[in-house]
Structures are given as C-alpha cells and as structure tokens.
Amino acid sequence: MKDYQREFIEFAIEMGVLKFGQFTLKSGRISPYFFNAGLFNTGESLAKIGKFYAAALEDGTKDVEYDVLFGPAYKGIPLVSSTAVAMSNIYKKDVPFCFNRKEKKDHGEGGTIVGTELTSDKKVIIVDDVITAGTAIREAVEIIQVQNKAKLVGVLIALDRQEKGKDTDSSAIQQVEKEFNIPVICIVKLEHVIEYLESIGGWEESVKQIREYRKQYGV
C-alpha cells in the first residue's frame, strides 16, 4: 500500500465517508462497511480528495494516454473539478476537463457538455466515486463515444469494493474493463482497507466481518 492510499483511507474514516457497521445496499446485501463520497462536502475536504484522485491518476496512467477528464453528473462534477485543480497544483499538468448536464440546454452555448469540448480526437478518462452496477459508466460511455465521438480510455474511481455482482462471479469493475477494454483505476481497493485496519489495530471485529463478507461476495 502506498502512502497516498493509506492517507486516503485515514481521511475517509475521519470524514465519516467510510463507515463500519451494518448497512443495507441497493442489492439487498448487508454490508459491514459503507462508502459515501457525497460527504466530501466542504472546500477543504474537496481539495484533499482531489489530491488523492490526482495521485491515483498519475500512478495508474503510466501506460495510458489521455486528453480530457470527464465527470458524470452529479457526483462526478466536483470530483473531476478537484482532480483537475490538483493535477495543476501538484503535478504541473493543465488537464482539460468537462462534465454533462442531465438535461440538454437549448439556448446560449447549448448542448449537454460543460467545459472542454469532446471531439473525435480526444481520449477521455471518466472520474467518479464508485462503480456499483456499471450503469452510470455505461451512460457516460453513451455521452462520450456515441454522442460526441470521443474515445474512452479509462475510468478513475475512489474505491474498488472487489465484490461480485448479482448473478455473476465478476465484479462490476471487471465487467466494465472487459466490456470496454479499458483499465479502471482506483485510489484504493477493499484489500487496502483491510490492510490499513489491521495495521493500526482496534478494528478486529470490523475486519472479521469484512473478511466474512468477502468470503461470500468477494472476487
């Protein structure tokens, strides 16, 4: 585990974004932990999360060329914005970014894309919080590749739950990678969370519950 990954987990727990207990997911599964990126809701927390996304982007794109970062509405909008700022401040890379409107604007500049233009010569990385079922990613692919003819080359998210989907032995991330032939880059995986909790001690019961959950649903 790298320093930025350890710091991210520590920060997520501190902010209450990563919680442990019993949580009912949309799938109906009872999860021993829950991740809610919507709680990165202050200027300071958004600045910090941008640094972690930027670190993961730098770490995970050594073999991936990209031109634009795309944030799917709505959670992806602040995430892609803070990532672009961090890329400039920390890595001195002025990375263009954009996001979509939920409804097409028929006046002013019009269209559904806000920010840098998506064109056929642009290689795009989606920036989002998590991939649960892959629905939001497929909607973003429609916008990027079908509507605007740009090329999707990767996805950047905060947490890989490493969890199989419904009626499949593959995770949503594995399905997205296979379907679109792209890498999904994450700041941390669930195995990193377990490693962190074990290293600091005092979380034995949570670790036990997560390991039991992984035996049933993990990939």
Q: Which residue numbers are catalytic?
A: 105, 107
Q: Which amino acid is at 49?
A: I
Bridge partners, residue 98, by sequence? 70, 115
At 82 the three-state DSSP class reads: helix
Give the position of tokens 């377990």: 194
Alpha-carbon gap, residue 219 to 171, rounded angstroms: 7
Give the position of tokens 């990209």: 66
Structural contact between residues 90 and 32, judged by C-beta atoms closer than 8 angstroms: no
Pairing of strands 68-71, 97-105: parallel
> Could you tell me how many residues make up the chain?
219
